[in-house]
Amino acid sequence: MPEAIQPVRIEVTVNGHKYQRDIEPRMLLVEFIREELGLTGTHIGCDTSYCGACTILLNGKPIKSCTALAVQADGCELMTVEGLERDDGLHPLQTAFSEHHGLQCGYCTPGMLMSSYNLLEENPNPSRDEICKGIAGNVCRCTGYQNIVKAVDAAAKALSYEITTGKPTTATEEA
Amino acid sequence: MYPAPFRFHRPATLQEAIGLLARFGDDAKVIAGGQTLIPMLKMRMGDMTDMIDIGRLPNLSYIEQRGDTIHIGALTTHSEVANSEIAERIPLLKDCGGGIADKQVRNRGTIGGGLSVADPSGDWPTGLRVLDAQVVCRGPNGERTLAIEDFIVDSYTTALGNGELVTEVKFKLPPAHSGGAYVAFKRAAPAYPTASAGVQLTMSGDTCTHIRLALGAAGSTAITSVEAESVLRGQSLTPTNLEKAADIIVSVAKPPVDARGSEDFKRAMLRSLVVDAVQRAVARSRGEKINGGHRYA
């Protein structure tokens, strides 16, 4: 073991807020988010880069925060599940997951939401197959995925409605 | 915290990185995307006192054509390769880079890392083998370029010397009427392939004028067979020829018996993947837009 480990100062922007911390180089990004910043919406699931429960966006792209070091995020913009919520309530994806029973125990949900959010940013009208591919890096042990796919599809329609009408909506109104 | 403590270095230049790596030797590990290294550190595999982060080194992330050669910087992520304009023209790159693990991993992992890890189940070592790729390495004694089969010498073992890093992968742009495909079977998106096959070929009418075949997850390094290729080169790719070639290359494979399957299962899988990859490559050589890539439930 090396003798003197100097802490490393990092600065990150998470959901629009700037944070500066001195951390050990070995700290995982997901630990940083949960323990240092107290943002416990991001879950630690398998912890082996398999399940995707820890998915967050780093500079707009989904990554597994259990398989990144906090020092690697220095200077980056992060978005966690807490960043989805809007001033007037839930994001249409969150509403759709609720309406369509896209969760049971809820453990995988933060990761599912972040992967789905990225999918709909890149592809606002995904086919069923594209939705399945979009969440392929996220494991759910409860739902069998059927309702998750339905929820993402409903959210896509709700978001399209917002874009075409310029009015905020929820998945319910669109359905 | 799961990894054991280590000192962290973020060199500003490649020269500085090489200097640190040469100085710390086996006590140091290089991190780029970290998609293989971080899980290993979390399991506390390997001794390391110093981490050298090359992830932000300048000018090592690109995929571009210069003359008749395609150059890919070592820090180019799997996603960047798969989504590039060049991958549209060389679809094997899209199959390979766009099928590795899942999107989250592809956004972090790099092509240089995928080669340097030399995992026998890894996708790049097999996919790039059929493109006759060369690996550019830089170390304390300057730069050298190795054929990929000389770079990857055994499972998890490369020819990289002390202080040496991969900086680039390059290969010749395939000529007109060429097609390639990489197909892999895996149990789920984030899993490593159970078996995979890569092919790159050139057609002149119905005659195959050039072909490279390789199998992945089928031995300690990518499995190739000059004999299997010679069955197809200069020939029409009839089902009989194709099956004969597939039988030959599968006969020299040494698929490990593990949780992903028995030897018989893997040989049958490899055989079907080779035939499928060749058929897709032929269709692509005619300009057809068809998918290749990874299959999973």
User: Could you state, in order of their start, the residue ranges of all structural domains in chain A?
Assistant: 8-83, 92-174
Q: What is the pLDDT of residues B31-72, one digit of tens each?
A: 999 999 999 999 999 889 999 999 999 999 999 999 999 999
> Which pLDDT does position A171 carry in this prediction?
46
Q: What is the pLDDT of residues B264-296, one digit of tens each?
A: 999 999 999 999 999 999 999 999 999 888 988
Helical residues (DSSP H) of chain B, grouped into ranges: 14-24, 37-42, 78-82, 85-89, 91-97, 103-106, 111-117, 124-127, 148-151, 226-232, 239-252, 263-285
Contact B138, B11 (CB under 8 A): no
> Which pLDDT does position A170 carry in this prediction?
55
Q: What is the pLDDT of residues B181-230, one digit of tens each?
A: 999 999 999 999 999 999 999 999 999 999 999 999 999 999 999 999 99
Which chain B residues touch A8 with a CB distance below 8 Å?
A: 8
Nearest to B8 among A25, A58, A64 (CB): A25
> Which pLDDT does position B238 carry in this prediction?
96
- By mean pLDDT, which of A85-89, A91-95, B71-75, B163-167 is the weakest? A85-89
Nearest to A26 among B6, B35, B188 (CB): B6
Q: What is the pLDDT of residues B232-248, one digit of tens each?
A: 999 999 999 999 999 99
Q: Pick from A64, A117, A135 the residue to mutate for testing the B interface (most B CBs within 10 Å).
A: A64
> Which pLDDT does position B265 carry in this prediction?
97
Check A67 against B108: CB less than 8 A apart.
Answer: yes
Check A28 against B296: CB less than 8 A apart.
Answer: no
CA distances from B46 to B7, B88, B157, B169 (A): 15, 39, 14, 27
Q: What is the DSSP letter of A89?
A: B
Superfamily of domain A92-174: [2Fe-2S]-binding domain (1.10.150.120)
Closest residue of A to B48, CA-based? A1
Tell whether B40 is within 8 A of chain A (Cβ): no
- By mean pLDDT, which of A84-88, B63-67, B83-87, B167-171 is the weakest? A84-88
More confident residue, B202 or A169: B202
Q: Work out the average pLDDT over A50-56.
A: 97
Walk me through the domains of chain B, giving residue ranges and CATH numbers: 63-172 (3.30.465.10), 178-295 (3.30.390.50)
The closest alpha carbon to B94, from B217, B209, B198, belongs to B198
Mean per-residue pLDDT of chain B: 97
> Which pLDDT does position A166 carry in this prediction?
85
Check A49 against B38: CB less than 8 A apart.
Answer: yes
> Which pLDDT does position B203 carry in this prediction?
98
Q: Work out the average pLDDT over A89-108.
A: 97
> Which pLDDT does position B105 carry in this prediction?
98
Q: What is the DSSP letter of A143?
A: S
- If residue B66 lies in a helix (H) or strand (E), which one and from where to where? strand B63-66
CA distances from B54 to A2, A24, B10 (A): 20, 18, 7
> Which pLDDT does position A174 carry in this prediction?
47
CATH topology of domain A8-83: Ubiquitin-like (UB roll) (3.10.20)
Cα dihedral B17, B22, B28, B33 sign: positive
Nearest to B34 among A1, A58, A67 (CB): A67
Q: Name the percent of chain B lying above pLDDT 90.
A: 96
Shortest Cα distance, chain B CAs vs residue A20, angstroms: 18
pLDDT band at B1 (very low <50, low <70, confident <90, very high): low
> Which pLDDT does position A175 carry in this prediction?
43
